[in-house]
Amino acid sequence: MNLPPSDPNGVTRRGFFQLTLGWVAGSFAATATVAAAVRFLVPNVLFEPGQRFKAGKPDDYPDGSITFLEDERVYLVRKGNTFRCLSAVCTHLGCTVNRAGKGYHCPCHGSVFNDEGGVESGPAPRALTWYLVALSKDNRLLVDKGQNVSADKYLVI
Amino acid sequence: MNDFSLRKFYGWFTLLGLVVGVLVIVGYYRDENRPWKVYQRKFLQEEIRRAVTPDQRLLAQNTPLQIRQILLPELNRVDRCTTCHLAVEDPSYGNFAQPLAYHPLHDQHPFDKFGCTVCHRGQGRATTVADAHGNVPFWNEPMLPTKYLQASCGQCHEAADNPAAPELARGNQLFETVGCRGCHKLGGVGGNLGPELDRVGARRAPEWLKQHFLSPATVTPGSGMPPQKFAEPDLEAIVLYMLSQTGANLPGFYGSMKVLPSVSEGRRLFQLKGCIGCHTVAGQGGKIGPALDDVGLRRKPEWMMQHFRDPQSVSPGSVMPRFGFTEAEARALTEFLVHLRDQKVSLSIPALMEPTVRGREVFRKYGCAGCHGPEGKGGVPNPNAKTAQQVPALTYVADGYTKPELKKLIVNGQREIVALDPHHPAPPLYMPAWGNTIKDAEIDDLVAYLFTLKPKGEDAGF
Amino acid sequence: MNAPLPKRLWLWLAQTRVGRSVFRVGLPQSNLERSQAMVSSFLLHVQPAKVSRHALRASYTLGLGLISLYLFFILCGTGVLLMFYYVPSTAQAYDVMKDLQFVVSAGLVVRNMHRWAAHLMVLFVMLHMCRVFYTGAYKRPREFNWVIGVGLFLITLGLSFTGYLLPWDQLAFWAITVGTNIAGYAPIVGPKLKYLLLGGNVVGQDALTRFYALHVIVLPAIAGLMISVHLFRVRKDGGLSRPGEADDTSVESIPLAQLPTNKSYGLMELARGTTPQVGKNPDDEVFSWPHLVFRELLLFLLVIAVVLFLAIFWNAPLEEFANPIHPPNPAKAPWYFLGLQELVSYSAFWGGVVVPALLVTMLGVLPYIDRGRAGVGRWFARERTVANTIFTVCLIVAIVLTIIGTMFRGPNWGWVEPWGPPPAITEGH
């Protein structure tokens, strides 16, 4: 083989095979490493309040009460034997709404919601969200913030 | 020049490229194949099998494999046990093998509020069997064997008279009667010959404790503690009680559960709050408030509860102040009052006892029996002590001492014990100074009690 | 085109309009382009266009400096990843270690890589230093680069030592307690240095915060800068040392003072004579692209493979949560300080003060004392027998002390034999 001295890439069949394989394996490893680094950064567990949470026993809430659950930012509404759960997050820009009179009031930009979460006034584009309430196997109220329901859907005990 | 070609390195390049590639694959495989996924797949298969409605089937099929955890910020714990123990809340898994078994009896202690490790111990953050169960190097909190599980109740609840934890109560009873406090401090009360026991349950394994009770010197060379001759059930109970002493100071809600609404707790509060200052029991006490002997007949428990919350709301014009009892404290006091007409309960109020009876309680409370034997009859070995290689019995103290002398001896102790053979090691046990630990009035009662120990009808032997 | 597919792809990519704007030179096909590939690339231009054959011989350098550099890169990469999870809090740091192991995808491997690469870096920086000594490569004109190298060695120890505390387990806590106490033995400055380093008198939250800041920002920034200077000077001092360098009069530059000052000079006229373009036999040199670059790539793959292998099959140690009340017996400093700890056990003053101060000073002034230029560029040159012997004796003593401290010391710093039965654990109450 008479190759130009400083052209080491002048390639034999064997060298061609070796180089290709090396580059393919190396590129694969590099790509996989980058992918693994990205995967490393995707959290597998969250340390924030969960989407589904238990809100205690039904009897913890007196009849006719509207209870604010701080950690979860929801209102738990009991009327007679029915339970509902209303999001306390304003649909405008995400502030926490306060119970005020016969409705809810957002302190940030003055949106006012009625008892059923509907917008009365202010910049809020949508009504407050109602979440699904169910009963768990150990007879606790189970709220799923992943599932929105309409205002007329109740859990009846 | 040709010999300087790079061609000789091509093979190395291929090899190293492949090695790195294979290592990445191996690393990925090992990282991705976590054992908990096997259990979750099994569980979801079972859920799919059981599904009745299409919705349930869909739910089971769409459940992703993921680490499940219970966040307990107040306890500073994260419990991932439910990643494998997936059916703890589902009674229909009652007869399944672990890890898919149902966990009975959690109504009072829901998992989302208590998690698992606060009772069972182990390593909540871990997600492999060995690590999670905690029998691994460098983890000091392995899972408690089930037979000792009641030890965990003692972290939040009073051990004495706890009906839900009979073994714990029994261990506590033994601890207080055998006389452990003669040498050991627990909760600040006790002697100083041995180490404090406040964190012993977190530091020692059950096997160690067992061995230590039976033969202290084999696990702690040089220990002067006399071997304890417990029967097996008693041994298990006292080991369990020791395990309950973790020194954990549980915060907030968990710590507030300490008071049990029991008669004994009520009695403790009755004494502590000085109720006897205004009320009489068995004719003794202050005359400001009504006598309480038969209050259990006159009033319903609900009335008493309300009375503790706000005395004037049920008996207008009452001068009794609001003490601000917690709900549990009020319940304990109510329980106590309900049972007060019972002779045994009313006589156990310390203020009403004879000094010699109270002294007997003091003898018990500070564990004098641990060295001097039950009722002061002696018999505990103290190698190389001149007093027959034993801690002396107290039966005849009335003959050898006057009351002030005896009191002085208890207050100041006796550090030097005369040795039988001065060439052998000094006797390990000695009389500590109790002056800083036992209250003055208690010592008077104790001395009164000790003077009653002399058998009736015997005269001074000197 | 009989080229491998990746190469063909690369060629195509490099000749597109965008490709040319990025890479300037595609895959070099001529000697001109080979030079340009090196000179016009930011990443490559720290290296010369042509490099002496001697410098490429693996048996001369053993690639030790480059391995240290690669380990530094790996440490930066894995370190940044770990920073996304780590919390420098005494309450949370240990939990983060557990979460990396049990929850985070590849978390354990990343932590292992960081740990093992850190130990390897300390080792390879030491080996690199030995290589430079035994080949006499610290001599004129490279004296100051040796001094910078000594500085980098100390920075490497500092990086490893500050990182040691971050998991906040028993190993970390007590190694740092012991390590900072050794520092405290230095006269006058010692206690103050310890106080400043810990932000107090004991290892606690403030110490953790300070070690974290040092570990992730201060020391890496200094190390990065000093590595740049170190590499820059390798180039400016005429590349790697080689035999016969001292006799090559053509590389001597004309002293500036002898030049007329009433004219202006071009850059080439002022540049030192020992730049590679001057006074070299062209036959002794090859183009850096591909001869140097390909070898560097191979070495990089080798380092990555070794670190990955270690990280996949051996876990980084993690002991119990730090407990200031119960020290392990014996409490040991990190392994590279165990020689010193062994000395301290005989005499705090000698082990903690005199020996380390003397060592660092000796290393620092070495090139200004040992000024002969004979034997440069050859391993264990006969002309350097005296220097080599002294260095070897010191090295062996250091190794023996470290091995004793690591393997032969048990409870109460008593003598144990690693192959004997483990010492009975006697516990008091």
Q: What is the least distance, in Å, from the CA of B66 to any CA of chain A? A: 8
Question: Span B259-352: which CATH code?
Answer: 1.10.760.10
Torsion of CA C364, C365, C370, C375, to 10 degrees: 20
| CATH code of the domain containing C324 | 1.20.810.10
Residue of higher predicted confidence among C242 and C425: C242
- How many Cα atoms are found within 13 Å in the side-chain-facing hemisphere of B249? 2
Domain boundaries, chain B: 36-133, 146-253, 259-352, 355-451
Closest CA to B434 of B190, B186, B198, B184: B190
Write b or e for each residue in A60-80: b if 16 or more Cβ atoms lie within 10 A of its Cβ, otherwise e: ebeeeeebebeebebbbbbee
User: Would you call the peptide bond into C330 cis, given omega within 30 degrees of 0 as the criterion?
Assistant: yes
- The pLDDT value recorded for residue B34 is 92
Distance CA C355, CA C345 (A): 13
Provide the number of structural domains found in chain C. Answer: 1
pLDDT in tens, B427-442: 888 888 888 888 888 8
C-alpha to C-alpha distances, A17 to A6, A12, B4, B369, C204, nearest whole angstrom: 20, 9, 20, 88, 58
pLDDT in tens, B404-414: 888 888 888 88
Q: Residue C256's pLDDT band (boundaries 50, 70, 90)?
A: low
Amino acid residing at C81? L
> What residue has token string 């040159």?
C381
Domain contains C73: yes
State the nearest Cα–Cα gap between B241 and chain C, in angstroms. Answer: 18
Q: Has residue B258 got a pLDDT over 70?
A: no
- The structural architecture, per CATH, of the domain A52-156 is 3-layer Sandwich (2.102)
DSSP secondary structure letter of residue B389: T
Using the predicted structure, report yes or no on whether residue C132 has a pLDDT greater than 60: yes
In terms of DSSP bridges, do strands A130-135 and A141-149 run parallel, antiparallel, or are they unpaired?
Answer: antiparallel
Q: Distance between CA atoms of B198 and B238, rounded to whole angstroms?
A: 14
* Cα separations in angstroms, A109 against A105, A106, A121, B401: 9, 6, 11, 85
How many other β-carbons are positioned within 10 Å of the β-carbon of residue B460? 9
The three-class DSSP label of residue B79 is strand
What is the mean pLDDT of the segment spanning B126-147?
Answer: 92
Bigger pLDDT: C399 vs C381 = C399
Residue C226, pLDDT > 50, answer: yes
Q: Which of residues 41-80 of C touch B (CB under 8 A)?
A: 53
Whether residue C102 and residue B127 make contact (CB cut-off 8 A), yes or no, is yes
Using an 8 Å Cβ cutoff, are B131 and B151 in contact? Answer: no
Please report whether residue C38 resides in a domain.
Answer: no
- Chain mean pLDDT for chain C: 86
Indicate which of B138, B220, B223 best probes the interface with C, i.e. most C CBs within 10 Å of its own CB: B138
pLDDT digits (tens, 9 = 90+) for A116-147: 999 999 999 999 999 999 888 778 898 988 88
Residue B212 sits at φ, ψ, to 5 deg, of: -70, -35
| C 268-297 near A (Cβ less than 8 A) | 286-287, 290-291, 294
Beta bridge partners of A89: A96
SS3 for B10? helix
Q: Which amino acid, residue C257? A: A
| Nearest CA distance, B187 vs chain A (angstrom) | 34
CA gyration radius, chain A: 29
Neighbours of B240 (CB within 10 A): 30
> Is residue C328 one of the residues assigned to a domain?
yes
pLDDT band at C275 (very low <50, low <70, confident <90, very high): very low
CA dihedral B429, B430, B433, B439 (to 10 degrees): 60
pLDDT at A11: 60
* DSSP bridge partners of C249: none
Neighbours of chain B (3+ CB pairs under 8 A): A, C
Q: Extract the tokens encoding C409.
A: 């010391």
Domain residue limits, chain A: 10-42, 52-156
The pair of three-digit structure tokens given for residue B442, joined into one six-digit string: 């208690």
Residues 94-113 of A with CB under 8 A from B: none
In this predicted model, what pLDDT tens digit does every residue of B36-82 receive, in sequence order? 999 999 999 999 998 888 888 888 888 889 999 999 988 889 999 99
User: Quick one: pLDDT at residue C30?
Assistant: 85
Q: What is the DSSP letter of B9?
A: G
**Spatial contact of C86 and C167, defined as CB atoms under 8 Å apart:** no
Helix axes C107-134, C385-407, angle to 10 degrees: 150
List C-alpha distances in Å: C139 to C52, C65, C98, C143.
19, 17, 49, 5
Q: What is the token pair recorded at C408?
A: 């032969």
Which two structure tokens, joined as six digits, stand for C5?
Answer: 């597919």
Mean pLDDT value of segment B199-205: 89
Of residues A23 and C159, more confidence is placed in: C159
Radius of gyration of chain C (CA): 25
What superfamily would CATH give domain B355-451? Answer: Cytochrome c-like domain (1.10.760.10)
CA separation (Å) from C151 to B85, C125, C138, C146? 54, 11, 14, 9
Question: Quick one: which of B108, B110, B96, B105 has its CA closest to B50?
Answer: B96
**Reported ipTM:** 0.87
Comparing CB atoms, the residue among C2, C81, C287 nearest residue A6 is C287
Report DSSP letters for C206-250, one per residue: HHHHHHHHIIIIIHHHHHHHHHHHHHHHHHHTTSS--TTTTT-GG
- Name the pairing type of β-strands A82-87 and A74-79: antiparallel
Question: How many residues are present in chain B?
Answer: 462
Query: Alpha-carbon dihedral of residues C383, C387, C388, C393, nearest 10 degrees?
Result: 150
Enumerate residues 208 to 267 of chain C having a beta carbon within 8 A of any beta carbon in chain B: none
- Of residues C240 and C311, which shows the higher confidence score? C311
C88, C209 contact by CB (below 8 A): yes
Q: Read off the pLDDT of residues B322-367 as tens digits, 9 standing for 90 and up.
A: 888 888 788 888 888 888 877 677 667 777 778 888 888 888 888 8
| Nearest chain C residue (CA) to A28 | C6
Q: Do B237 and B167 touch, CB atoms closer than 8 A?
A: yes
Q: What mean pLDDT do residues C282-301 have? A: 87
| Domain carrying residue C230 | 56-241+289-413
> Under a CB-based contact definition with an 8 Å cutoff, are residues C38 and C45 in contact?
yes
Q: What pLDDT digit, counting tens, does each position of C327-367 carry?
A: 888 888 889 888 888 888 888 778 878 888 899 999 999 99
Contacts of B444 (CB under 8 A, 6+ apart): B355, B359, B407
Please report residues of A whose CB lies closer than 8 A to that of C110.
40
Q: Do B27 and C91 touch (CB under 8 A)?
A: no
**Residues C289/C34, Cβ–Cβ less than 8 Å:** yes
Closest by CA to B129, choosing from B30, B234, B34, is B34
CB–CB of A24 and B17 under 8 A? yes
CA distances from B3 to A8, C56, C63 (A): 10, 14, 21
The beta-carbon contacts of B67-72 under 8 Å, at least 24 apart in sequence, are: B67/A44, B67/A45, B67/B36, B67/B127, B67/C103, B69/A45, B70/B111, B70/B112, B70/B115, B70/B116, B71/A47, B71/A49, B71/A50, B72/B114, B72/B115, B72/B118
User: Averaging pLDDT over each range in B29-33, C410-414, C419-423, which range is the top one?
Assistant: B29-33
Q: For residue B409, give both structure tokens.
A: 């001896």
CA of B31 vs chain C CAs: smallest distance (Å)? 6
Query: Who's near A152: CB < 8 A, 6+ residues apart?
Result: none
C284 touches chain B (CB under 8 A): no
Is the pLDDT reported for residue B459 higher than 60?
no
CATH of domain B146-253: 1.10.760.10
**How far apart are alpha carbons B25 and B252 in whole angstroms?**
48
What distance in Å separates the CA atoms of residue B454 and residue B398, rounded to the nearest whole number? 7
Quote the CA–CA distance of A113 and A124 in Å, as a whole number.
9
SS3 call for A78: strand
Nearest to B1 among A5, A22, A54 (CB): A5
C304 Cβ contact partners less than 8 Å away, ≥ 6 residues apart: B20, C70, C74
Cβ distance C330 to C338 under 8 Å? no
Chains within contact range of chain A (3+ C-beta pairs < 8 Å): B, C
Measured CA to CA, the distance from residue B82 to residue B68 in angstroms comes to 6
Nearest by CB: B125 against C102, C291, C295: C102
**Nearest alpha-carbon partner for B12 in C58, C8, C118, C49:** C58
Q: In sequence order, what are the residues at sequence separation of 6 or more whose Cβ sits closer than 8 angstroms to the Cβ of residue A3?
A: A10, B2, B5
- In this prediction, residues A21-33 reach a mean pLDDT of 91
Rounded average pLDDT over C288-306: 92
pLDDT for the residue A17: 85
Q: Which residues of B touch A44 (CB under 8 A)?
A: 66-67
Residue C279 lies in a domain: no
Chains that touch C (3 or more CB pairs under 8 A): A, B
How many other C-beta atoms lie within 10 A of the C-beta of residue C135? 23
**Does this chain's domain B146-253 share its CATH topology with B355-451?**
yes
Per-residue pLDDT of C173-209, as tens digits, reads 999 998 888 888 877 888 898 999 999 999 999 999 9
Interacting residues of C255 by C-beta distance below 8 A, sequence separation 6+: none
Q: Which residues of C touch B78 (CB under 8 A)?
A: 95
Average pLDDT over residues B198-227: 88
